[in-house]
Amino acid sequence: MNMMRTAVLMAAMTALFLVVGALIGGQTGMLMALAFAAATNLFAYWNSDRLALAANGAQEIQRAEAPELYDLVAELARRAQLPMPRVYVVHEDQPNAFATGRNPENAAVAVNTGLISMLTREELAGVIAHELAHIKHRDTLTMTITATLAGAISSIAQWGMFFGGNRNNGAGVIGSIALAVLAPLAAMLVQMAISRSREYEADRLGGEICGDPNQLASALYKIAHGAEAIPNENAEANPAMAHMFIINPLTGQGVDNLFSTHPNVENRIAALQQLAGEMGVVGYASQDNSAAISARGPWRGAADRGSSGERRPRGPWG
């Protein structure tokens, strides 16, 4: 059902793009919009992973630098029958993670150091499994395309307002102003709806990959509360990438409505509880377990370097 919903929403996003182009420039505008979409998507297809990783200050690690983390990713990738993705760490206190890449052969998993400090190994496995599920479903490419189309819709709508729109079609200045406001809003709503549908699918497959959906449920609880308390400056500076993370890095609040990039955390936990029951795994205790969050200090692995490039002491993850 979610796969079908995603296909319908992607079609709606494409149709919206063409409608905006037609309103601005008629048939010529529609063709120009189509060409612009093709060009931007082609660029995003080849460069989305590098752009996302660079925007978040991610640093690639090798096994020698963080063997426990690297081996955990490798083990879960084998379970998921995926090629080994590149592994990155982001020196960010907010607990979070994301995956990127145009296909499984060119994928990367990035985890914040705050996530490694907060979670147990089993919970971390649940989070990584969730990200690998996105890779297996090729959600990383889908979300890149929707983000690119949403940005392109906003851009051409603003062009229409600047040039006064297609007066032959009756849009005029007033119509162009309305288009500049409503088109990006509509694109944002579709993008968020696609993001929410993919999170449920990734939770389910991630729970199956790690073998215990309860661990992913516990991790989601901790990450959501941690994201509420700890701001993520990189994410705030690049809000268009918020949908890539396992939990919304901008607010961390689970409001399951049109304006949320992620489903309600409690709904996700409930779905994982149901999956655990189907798998015969003991159910997750839905309670305030904030006291159970690890009190370990910030992670300091071999890949953790200061601004001058010096190595910091190795920590429990390598």
Q: Could you state, in order of their start, the residue ranges of all structural domains in the chain? A: 2-292
Q: How confident is the model at residue 297 (pLDDT cuts 50, 70, 90)?
A: very low
Query: Distance between alpha carbon 229 and the CA centroid of its chain, in Å?
Result: 20
Q: What is the C-alpha to C-alpha distance for residues 32 and 43, in angstroms, rounded to an integer?
A: 17
Backbone angles phi, psi at 16, to 5 degrees: -60, -40
Q: Give the DSSP per-residue string, the chain.
A: -HHHHHHHHHHHHHHHHHHHHHHHHHHHHHHHHHHHHHHHHHHHHHHHHHHHHHHTT-EEE-TTT-HHHHHHHHHHHHHTT-PPPEEEEE--SS--EEEEESSGGGEEEEEEHHHHHHS-HHHHHHHHHHHHHHHHTTHHHHHHHHHHHHHHHHHHHHHHHHHT--GGGT-HHHHHHHHHHHHHHHHHHHHHHHHHHHHHHHHHHHHHHHS-HHHHHHHHHHHHHHHHHS--HHHHH-GGGGGGBSS-TTT-----STT-SS--HHHHHHHHHHHHHHHTPPPP--S--GGGS--------TT-B-TT-PBPPP-TT-
More confident residue, 179 or 242: 242
**Among 65, 92, 123, 131, the one annotated catalytic:** 131
**Across all residues in the chain, what is the average pLDDT?**
76
List pLDDT tens digits, range 40-76.
767 777 887 898 899 899 999 999 999 999 999 999 9
| pLDDT over threshold 60, residue 298 | no
More confident residue, 43 or 16: 43
Q: Which two tokens stand for residue 186?
A: 């509509």
- For the ranges 72-76, 166-170, 206-210, 259-263, the lowest mean pLDDT is seen at 166-170
List pLDDT tens digits, range 28-48.
766 776 777 677 767 777 887
- For the ranges 171-175, 237-241, 266-270, 277-281, the lowest mean pLDDT is seen at 171-175
Laid out side by side, the sheet with 97-101 consists of 59-61, 86-90, 107-112, 97-101
Residue 283's pLDDT is: 60
Q: What is the mean pLDDT of residues 167-193?
A: 59
Report the greatest alpha carbon distance in the chain.
Answer: 68
Q: Which two tokens stand for residue 301?
A: 């692995």
Backbone angles phi, psi at 112, to 5 degrees: -75, 145
131 is catalytic: yes
Type of residue numbered 156: I
The b-or-e profile of 46-62 (16+ CB within 10 A means b, else e) is eebbeebbeebebeebe
| pLDDT over threshold 50, residue 315 | no
In which residue are the tokens 């319908």 written? 8
